Structure 1
Amino acid sequence: MASLWRRVLERLARGAVSAADAEAKIARDRLHDAIEAIPEGVVFLDAEGRYILWNRRYAEIYHRSADLFRPGARLIDTLREGVRRGDYPAAIGREEAWLAEREAMLLAGAGERHEQKLADGRWLMIEDRRTSEGGSIGLRVDITDMKGQAEALAQALARAEAANRAKSEFLSDMSHALRTPLNGVSGLAQALEGTTLDAAQQALVGDIRASAAELERLVHGLLDYGEASQAKEAPALNSGSGTAQLRVLVADDNPTNRKVIELMLTAAGARPTCVEDGAQALEAWRSGAYDVVLMDLRMPVMDGLSAIRAIREAEAGSGRPRTPVIVLSANTSPQDLRESAAAGADDHIGKPIQADALVAALGSARAA
């Protein structure tokens, strides 16, 4: 009887084991199918960093190393062989350091994402996380297309920025090219208007002034869509108000502009000294005592901004009193104004220059 019960118990035990084995196999198969269904590369490692399980996509991604994959093999050893084969461009020339960094990431398992480039040109996003048993699960995502799109976007943005810079430079060039001769026409007409003229001559000068004003309006209309003019308009003042006996250094490379400014300053009672570029302006400022400096921006040898910065640096180093500097320029965009102020200018007047605006600026500079 005892032997009968023993046989019955043995059969039940074998059946239980068989059922457990069957259930375990079903669970393993389901896990395998689930992992294979994941479209990205997945790998499971034990606590020692040895392969346990990986899906087909993982093997496809690392096809140059797939022959090394086997349960129990260490992933770091696979990486070491991959480095020897030249699979990882980032490791070239620093192989041991690269392997140490990669192993540290595996051991940390903090889920920190980083990019990895393969020898065939593909890019991967890599993420490794620790499991509750002390092992790790790794995810490998092919981001080659995303990298290509990002690069294309960056190139498009660079082209757009280059086009915007080209537009700004074109507008700046156009502003200078149009407003510089316009300044001469308008300024000379103003100077002529202040001389003794008969009625017919006064009418002709009036026509010139009116035509110059219309041309100025057209120039502003042409450039305003990309260059917000900030030229300061001052209230009308009597000539010479606050400018008599004023010593003014004028720097402008255009002879007509120098003549116009000289006529305006002389009529206001000031004493102008004219130079042709920033270097001459700096030399003249160092050797003379001037109450105000009028500085063009675009000049050969040394531009106006460089000359202003050099004057401010020299003042700071010598303890010399600050000389007011007023920029007179055909470039009047917000960026131009910011650059003038940053260089150390006290004011910025746009061309064509109006005599009253210049006199007012000189008066304000003298008062300051």
Structure 2
Amino acid sequence: MRTILYCMTMQHDWRLVVLAGLVCVGGLATTLNLLIRATLKRERRAATVHGAGAAATAALAIWATHFMAMTGYDAGPAVTYDLGLTLASLVIIFVAAGLAVALILCVRSLAGRLLAGAVGFCGVAAMHFTGMAGLNVGSQIVWDPGLVAVALGTGLAFGMSAALVLHRWGRKAGAAAVGLVALSICSLHFLAMSAMSLSPMTVGVQQADALSQSALVVTVAGAVAFLILAATIAGLMTYWSRSSALNQIREAIEAMPDGLGFYDADDRLVLWNSRYAEVNPELASNLKVGLTFDDILRIGIKKNLYTEALGRPDEWVAERMAARREASNSLEQQIGDNRWLRVQDRRTAAGGVVTVVNDITDLKRDALALAEARDSAESANKAKSLFLANMSHEIRTPLNGVIGVAQALAATDLSPDQRQMLDLIQSSGHTLQTLLSDILDLARVESGRLELAHETFDLGKVISESAQLYAASAEAKGLQFFVEIAPEAQVWVEGDAVRLRQILTNLVSNAVKFTETGFISLTAGTGPERDGRSTLRFTIEDTGIGFDAACRERLFGRFEQADGGITRKFGGSGLGLAICRQLAEMMGGELDCESEPGGGSAFILTVPLVAVAAPVAEAGNDEGPGLGDVVPTLRVLLADDHPTNRKVVELVLAQAPVELTSVENGAEAIDAYRQGGFDLVLMDMQMPVMDGLTATREIRACEQSQGLERTPVVMLTANAMPEHIAAGIAAGADRHLAKPFNAADLLELVRQVGMRGPMALAA
């Protein structure tokens, strides 16, 4: 340690040592600046130029540091330098610096930085000892191996530490890296110089091509001048780059479509763009540097800009400032002239606030218009639903009279001509009923109010029943009719039996309608798996008129059929297939078709149906005797305000042992019920004085208060929408029978009550 201190304090001129240190730090700082700029350049040529500048600057700085310190070294006799070895040391440091910079730029990882640090230090060490080898002092130079090892180890440690720090780009990391590299160079120089001693026994020989001390000083001065020039150029480039970047940022801020204001840590306005003043025209004349945000709010309050602050200015300002102190704040603010601003505050790392303001008046106006349009659409949808419900009720009521009277008339003796006319009435009534159901189904599907049931049913039975409905029609036209159900379709499944039957009957009905000769077939079997679920495929084929590809594209549209001629020849609304496809999609399946003109058609329905175990049959759950075997006479109470409907029920129930009592509204129904003795109540829903729902609730309340046995109540009404059915069940009804009803259905209700008692219809 004494040797090291003696070398630094006694054998070196401290003024030149300090100057060498300043040259080293300044040159390395310039090198780091150029190196950072090289890493930021996207063009390879620009990066190479900056990298080469960094390497040259580093090499000259290190070489100049070493030989400037050497000029301050007092070796005793006159000192000269071997020209070849001195130049060789300069070449060595240039090569080493170039390799180190190349590694930093090409291998951007910690390993690359460490390797660059090792290569750079090895170059510095080689330069140092090569330069020392060229030192001519008239004596023999002797090295202390121990101190040499310490010099190399210490310098390498500082160099590798600089590489680790340099891996984290940043201002502080860069300054630390420069300091560590300077320590690496200085420690190597002074420790190595301390390891050197001169032997006076050997006399040196002056070489002709030696470099004198004064010549070396001039050379080093030139290198330092170059470093100063490089540092100046790098500084000017940095200043110009930052100035250009700031100008670009200012231009970008000024061109922003949003208003932007920047406030410092004390919430004082620092800068703003023109748009910030435009969206705050009332405050534009007051905007100035140093104005606090609190002052801006109070200026706005004085000008009655903030409607929310009326009557509570201080409290409102406190709330606004509290929200502004959050790291991120966004609010919509109404200005006094019916303008709306969206204000967003974002806090910076230094504690300042960036405020972005947008004029959203148009957006608010559009949102209000959309809300009004939505409300109008919802109102129209409600009106549409109410219209459909009323239309359903008003059409079903007279239609019930037509179909009911026709069914009652069919049970009497008629002549062949009368029977033919009656068939026409029944057929027309059935067509009207189907059309009404299609329209209502389509409306429910469009509004999303149609829900599928989840019940267990016998799939084979549903298929057979759907097909047999039109077997007689096919036979009457001379068509062959086939039904093939694969064993895997003869199972119980979970799904909506009513909607599946609706699809199948519609497809079979169309096949019968559009086929004059040949055959019709319905086949059921397994289909392809979908999403890991098994499916069932139903195929309805016919040898009818068929259709072309153009018709196929629009066949499943609403009110569409093959062509206008079909409508005139075969009739129909064109709603059936549209509803069938939508029902299939609601089930998670699809409905498609294949056809060619004159070559028949094939409609393919594929739906996922979950197979379940067949329910266990209950003992004694047989159908019982027929209606004619019902011995007791049932007392039935009918409440309906329409005389035609009362007459239809009277004609239908005339075929059964029934004692019928008819009333015109719910109030009369309650009075009649309180007299007691009724086995069944048929209740209309829509009646004057008191509606059927209220009357049903009164009947249930009367039963509960008097401890009477529950009397079956059936809602016999033209209100057939799902919400009507749900309302009837909620009021206490047991069943819902929609008008126009089938006479057989009503007689079946009477039969169930007569054979099984009051609980037969329990919901």
TM-score category of the 2 structures, normalised to the smaller one: 0.7 to 0.9
Identity across matched positions, percent: 43
1:222/1:35 Cα in 2 relative to 1: closer, same or farther (>3 Å)?
A: same
Offset at 1:222?
4.6
Q: Where does 1:239-258 land on structure 2 (aligned, <5 Å)?
A: 239=627, 244-258=632-646
Offset at 1:141?
1.9
Aligned partners of 1:285, 1:46: CA distance in 2, in Å? 84
Aligned partners of 2:687, 2:318: CA distance in 1, in Å? 58
Of 79, 82, 103, 2:300 maps to 82
Aligned partners of 1:293, 1:165: CA distance in 2, in Å? 32
Offset at 1:139?
1.7
**Residue 67 of structure 1 aligns with which residue?**
285
Offset at 1:312?
4.7
Residue 355 (str. 1) matches residue 743 (str. 2): yes
Offset at 1:257?
0.9
Residue 145 (str. 1) matches residue 362 (str. 2): yes
1:46/1:189 Cα in 2 relative to 1: closer, same or farther (>3 Å)?
A: same
5+ long unaligned stretches in structure 1: 1-11
Aligned partners of 1:94, 1:299: CA distance in 2, in Å? 57
Aligned partners of 1:82, 1:243: CA distance in 2, in Å? 91
Aligned partners of 1:98, 1:160: CA distance in 2, in Å? 38
Aligned partners of 1:289, 1:97: CA distance in 2, in Å? 74
Moved more, 53-62 or 331-340: 331-340
Residues 26-54 of structure 1: CA distance to partner in whole angstroms, max 9, x if unpaired?
66544433321221011222334332222
Aligned partners of 1:94, 1:279: CA distance in 2, in Å? 59
Aligned partners of 1:93, 1:212: CA distance in 2, in Å? 76
Offset at 1:299?
1.5
Aligned partners of 1:135, 1:321: CA distance in 2, in Å? 80
The 8 Å contact of residues 403 and 429 in structure 2, kept in 1 or not, is answered as: no
Normalized against structure 2, the TM-score is what? 0.40
The 8 Å contact of residues 332 and 342 in structure 2, kept in 1 or not, is answered as: yes
**Residue 207 of structure 1 aligns with which residue?**
421
**Residue 9 of structure 1 aligns with which residue?**
none
5+ long unaligned stretches in structure 2: 1-227, 445-497, 503-622
Q: Secondary structure at the match of 1:272?
A: strand
The 8 Å contact of residues 261 and 271 in structure 2, kept in 1 or not, is answered as: yes
Residue 37 (str. 1) matches residue 425 (str. 2): no
Q: Secondary structure at the match of 2:343?
A: strand
1:332/1:292 Cα in 2 relative to 1: closer, same or farther (>3 Å)?
A: same
Residue 173 (str. 1) matches residue 561 (str. 2): no
Alignment root-mean-square deviation, CA: 3.8
Q: Secondary structure at the match of 2:440?
A: coil
Q: Where does 1:1-368 land on structure 2 (aligned, <5 Å)?
A: 29-111=247-329, 113-194=330-411, 197=413, 199-200=414-415, 204=418, 207-208=421-422, 210-222=424-436, 224-227=438-441, 238-239=626-627, 244-312=632-700, 321-364=709-752, 366=758, 367=760, 368=762
Aligned partners of 1:363, 1:99: CA distance in 2, in Å? 79
- Higher Cα Rg: structure 1 or 2? 2
Q: Secondary structure at the match of 1:181?
A: helix
Aligned partners of 2:309, 2:631: CA distance in 1, in Å? 72
Aligned partners of 2:308, 2:379: CA distance in 1, in Å? 31
Aligned partners of 1:257, 1:92: CA distance in 2, in Å? 66
Aligned partners of 2:253, 2:369: CA distance in 1, in Å? 33
The 8 Å contact of residues 49 and 74 in structure 1, kept in 2 or not, is answered as: yes
Aligned partners of 2:364, 2:437: CA distance in 1, in Å? 40
Residues 236-282 of structure 1: CA distance to partner in whole angstroms, max 9, x if unpaired?
x9446769433332221101211222343343223333222233334
Aligned partners of 1:265, 1:341: CA distance in 2, in Å? 24
Aligned partners of 2:701, 2:359: CA distance in 1, in Å? 56
- Paired residue type of 1:62: N
1 or 2 for the larger relative contact order (CA 8 Å, sep ≥6)? 1
1:156/1:255 Cα in 2 relative to 1: closer, same or farther (>3 Å)?
A: same
Residues 209-254 of structure 1: CA distance to partner in whole angstroms, max 9, x if unpaired?
54144133124315522346989x9x9x944676943333222110
1:355/1:215 Cα in 2 relative to 1: closer, same or farther (>3 Å)?
A: closer
Aligned partners of 1:151, 1:136: CA distance in 2, in Å? 32
Moved more, 102-111 or 147-156: 147-156
Aligned partners of 1:162, 1:333: CA distance in 2, in Å? 19
Question: Number of paired residues?
Answer: 348
Offset at 1:109?
3.2
